[in-house]
Amino acid sequence: VELVVQFQVLNQSCQCLAWKPHPVGAWGAENQHVVAGYSDGTIRVFSISRTEMELKMHPHAVALTAIAYSTDGEMILSGGKDGLVAVSSPRTGMTIHVLAEHKGSPITVLQCARKQYRDFGVEGGELWLATSSDRRVSVWASDWLKDKCELLDWLSFPAPAGPERLGSLPPSLAAFCPWEPGTLVYVGFGMQKEALFYSLRKKQVVEKISLPYFATSLSLSPAARFMAVGFGERLLRLLRCPSGEAQDYAGHDDAVHLCRFAPSGRRLLTASHSAVLLWEL
């Protein structure tokens, strides 16, 4: 492993980042861009090949907590600590939408997916979801070229009366299911320790897989029916779906706060306090 490029922003901490999706067949260093969200509410787009910052925007008044590109790479979605979600164009540097539906609770996840949106009777080129710390998930259908953004579903997951400080609770995390179109997976603080599969068509939870602890990170393989879940108990669990057949892995020095499948599905990256682990599947 060697360090290839390094970008430094003084006096700001980088809170979240995302790779720009590449057009099919056009993967090369000249196309590689990364967008990063910072503690002062700014977004910076970096070119890997040119090793320079290409764009700086300031769509938020508070620290960013989540960031994602739209599936075509034409828009950047960003979420802040105050629960506001901004949609900005990296071409123009303008913010075209600010969505306040999650206001008051930090955004934990933003994810975009190419989906059969017509199945849901709405217009749009993609579906995307936002999740906030208060166990709420909103699902949207968007057509950015036509400036359309429509709320498709709104989920609220119950939980027992918990500790006063929200920061001490496990995060609320959701992801579109790559192998079940129109389904999303949710984990978070709740009545039970479990992963919930929710069908956007049936508007209900269609499957539950029980977990040993509340999850701290989640990733679904784009290539096979595998789900990786990280826990505060220094444990990584690989689950085969829908059977729920589980394999546990130790080896982290602290809470597994990040797990991410590679696009091929053959590798899994996990991170804890001072360790980054790469797993071959």
- For the chain, domains (ranges, CATH) are 157-280 (2.130.10.10)
Closest CA to 44 of 11, 86, 8: 8
Q: Note the pLDDT tens digit of each residue in 27-81.
A: 555 568 999 999 999 999 999 988 999 999 999 999 999 999 999 999 999 999 9
User: Residue 148 class from Cβ within 10 Å (0-12 exposed, 13-18 middle, 19+ buried)?
Assistant: middle
User: Which pTM was predicted?
Assistant: 0.92
Q: Which residue has the tokens 């934990």?
A: 108
Residue 32's pLDDT is what?
A: 87
Instruction: Give 171's DSSP letter.
Output: P
Digit-coded pLDDT (tens) for 257-276? 999 999 899 999 999 988 89
Exposed e or buried b per residue across 22-44, where buried means at least 16 C-beta atoms within 10 angstroms of its C-beta = eeeeeeeeeebbbbbbbbebbbb
The band of 147, judged by pLDDT with boundaries at 50, 70 and 90, is confident
Q: Between the CA of residue 216 and those of 138, 257, 271, what are the distances in Å?
A: 20, 5, 11
Question: Which tokens sit at 156?
Answer: 């609220």
Say if residues 89 and 132 touch (Cβ distance below 8 Å): no
Type of residue numbered 224: A
Confidence of residue 124 (pLDDT cuts 50, 70, 90): confident
The pLDDT of 189-210, averaged and rounded, is 95
DSSP SS3 for 277: strand
Question: Dihedrals φ, ψ of 119, to 5°?
Answer: -55, -25
* Residue 116 reports pLDDT greater than 60: no
Q: How far is the C-alpha of 84 from the C-alpha of 101, rounded, in Å? A: 7
138, two tokens: 């909103």
Q: Rounded to whole angstroms, how far apart are CA atoms 119 and 281?
A: 34
Paired strand residues for 143:
148
Distance from C-alpha of 125 to C-alpha of 113, rounded to nearest angstrom: 9
Q: How far apart are CA 56 and CA 195, in angstroms?
A: 37
- Confidence class for position 119, pLDDT limits 50, 70, 90: low
Residue 135's nearest CA partner among 111, 104, 112, 113 is 104
